[in-house]
Amino acid sequence: MSKHPSPFAVDERGYFGKFGGAYIPEMLYPNVEELRENYESIISSEAFQTQFTQLLKDYVGRPTPLYLASRLSEKYGATIYLKREDLCHTGAHKVNNTIGQILLAKALGKKRIIAETGAGQHGVATATVCALMGMECTVYMGKLDTERQRPNVERMKILGAEVRPALSGSQTLKDATNEALRHWISHPVDTHYIIGSVVGPHPYPDMVARFQSVISDEIRWQLREKENRENPDMVIACVGGGSNAAGAYYHFLDEPSVELVAVEAAGLGIHSGKSAATTALGTEGILHGSRTLLMQTKDGQVIEPHSISAGLDYPGIGPFHAHLFDTGRASFTGVTDEEAMQAGVLVSRLEGIIPAIESAHALAALESADIKGKTVVVNLSGRGDKDLETYIRWGKY
């Protein structure tokens, strides 16, 4: 988890190439500045590293297996490994980041945690670590989302968190984010804001990528054990904001022999007006505090995204990925709702693993990527339990 000495690492000003920075209202400056000044020294300290590693091991269940998917490999004529983030406590990679951030919040002397959540996955991962650490937790969630994602709302409440429905705007994720930020502005001294992906103002994208980098750190030594090599030929991951992909790519960024494939949600089709294919459709602009690529109208209005998977239903990508796209270091591809659902069922049938629909997007890319004879790692970011309703509604199995 050391700082990455690479052209793909964040620079001193908080940029990845021309993307990133901290575009925030002046009122928020002290909060973000406190974090920026302290995060590197805290997370590289021995005390932090010891606790972080211990909790990832005993609480989250790391290392997660690197599983050779034999029947899937046979189907595609490649050696396909699945990195099993679906086996993490709470069912996805998100908890790697919330563990890191709550330890950071403690080190900064904070007493309260706030977070925003869309579908509720990040809210649950945050409520979980707050219970673990005995910290007060408030999760902002669009009112519409609280109705659509009732089980996750109840999970957060069981864990002791307060869920505050955001009543403004379209009552979804962006409104929840706005209300969380407003709360943070008025409680700067005792509150830490846990952001759930590699998005937001500097230092969040860098910080979250470093917490998630444990994924590629493990892939390297696991592949050495299994294949006597550290580098796969290709790593495939889905991108919502981009945190699971950032973690899966991190230690391969400076290994040009490793192809990095990023999979975005093409929804009903890239040009259907109902997608979240940011690199295909997006332009440069400011979203949630950083300069990045986002889907927007000519006059800068954010376009409502669509994806069948709640975790990919985001109108931008983090600056880390905007830079990988801009430099060509990663290749970006789109997978439709239908293709993702088919891949989800295929992997269920071939491997006995029901993936989260986000992760099914990464798996669907095996159809079109040039993988014959290659050693490929697909990051299985989460499990499908939360998506059962969507599988049932889709119905083709």
Ligand X SMILES: *Cc1c(COP(=O)(O)O)cnc(C)c1O
CB of 50 to ligand X, least distance (A): 26
**Residue 291 binds ligand X (CB under 6 A):** no
**Candidate list 87, 88, 92, 354; residue touching ligand X; CB under 6 A:** 92
Which amino acid is located at 52 in the chain? F
Nearest to 382 by CA among 1, 89, 18: 89
Interacting residue with ligand X among 209, 381, 391, 394 (CB under 6 A): 381
Is residue 294 a contact point for ligand X (CB under 6 A)? no
Q: Is 121 in the site for ligand X (CB under 6 A)?
A: yes
Helix (H, G, I), strand (E, B) or coil at 258: coil
**How many angstroms separate the CA atoms of 333 and 198, rounded?**
19
Please state the φ and ψ torsions of residue 307, each to the nearest 5 degrees: -150, 150
Tell me which residues in 204-263 interact with ligand X (CB under 6 A): 238-244
Q: Are 387 and 360 in contact (CB under 8 A)?
A: no
Angle CA 277–283–289, to nearest 5: 95
Q: Does 379 sit near ligand X (CB under 6 A)?
A: no
Pull the structure tokens for residue 207: 């910080």
358 is an interface residue for ligand X by CB under 6 A: yes
Min dist CB 134 to ligand X, Å, is: 25
Q: Which of 117, 149, 197, 231 is close enough to bind ligand X by CB under 6 A?
A: 197
Q: Which is nearer to ligand X, 79 or 235 (CB)?
A: 235
| Nearest distance from C-beta of residue 190 to ligand X, angstroms | 27
How is residue 23 written in tokens?
């575009």
- CB-nearer residue toward ligand X: 152 or 375: 152
* Cα 174 from Cα 170, distance rounded (Å): 8
Catalytic residues: 94, 116, 381
Q: Between 14 and 200, whose beta carbon lies closer to ligand X?
A: 200
Q: Which of 228, 206, 247 is nearest to 382 (CA)?
A: 247
Task: Enumerate binding residues for ligand X (CB under 6 A).
Answer: 92, 94, 121, 197, 238-244, 311-312, 356, 358-359, 381-382
